[in-house]
Structure 1
């Protein structure tokens, strides 16, 4: 159950694509590979993503790069 005091902001596809710097095709591929948060269905033709989940995905990518850069210098 969600914390009633938590603020959840939903963002739409154009903003997700812009923030992540990926194409729509890549977004679909990542979702189907369970490598990106799944969208929330808002209506019959509308979806959105939880902003904090998208931000977490971005942070994980940054951290993975840091780990890989550190391994390259060993």
Structure 2
């Protein structure tokens, strides 16, 4: 949420629409997380660049 400036509900809505990376399940819990590289790629695509 910090990196994207999006609310939790907006992130999940964007995922449902196929407009945001899918999370990965963390072993042994119901928690999920996003790969840093997936989020950075998503940000770069919106900024119109390929910077890392």
Please confirm whether the aligned pair reaches a TM-score higher than 0.5, indicating the same fold: yes
- 1:27, CA displacement in angstroms? 0.3
Aligned to 1:59: 44
Identify the match of residue 23 of structure 2 among 39, 47, 57.
39
Gaps of 5+ in 1: 1-16, 65-74
- Please report how far the alpha carbon of residue 21 of structure 1 lies from its aligned counterpart in structure 2 after TM superposition: 0.4
Answer 1 or 2: higher relative contact order, Cα 8 Å, separation at least 6. Answer: 1
Equivalence for 1:21: 5
Structure with greater Cα Rg: 1
Aligned residues: 48
Runs of 4+ in 1 over 6 A off after TM superposition: none
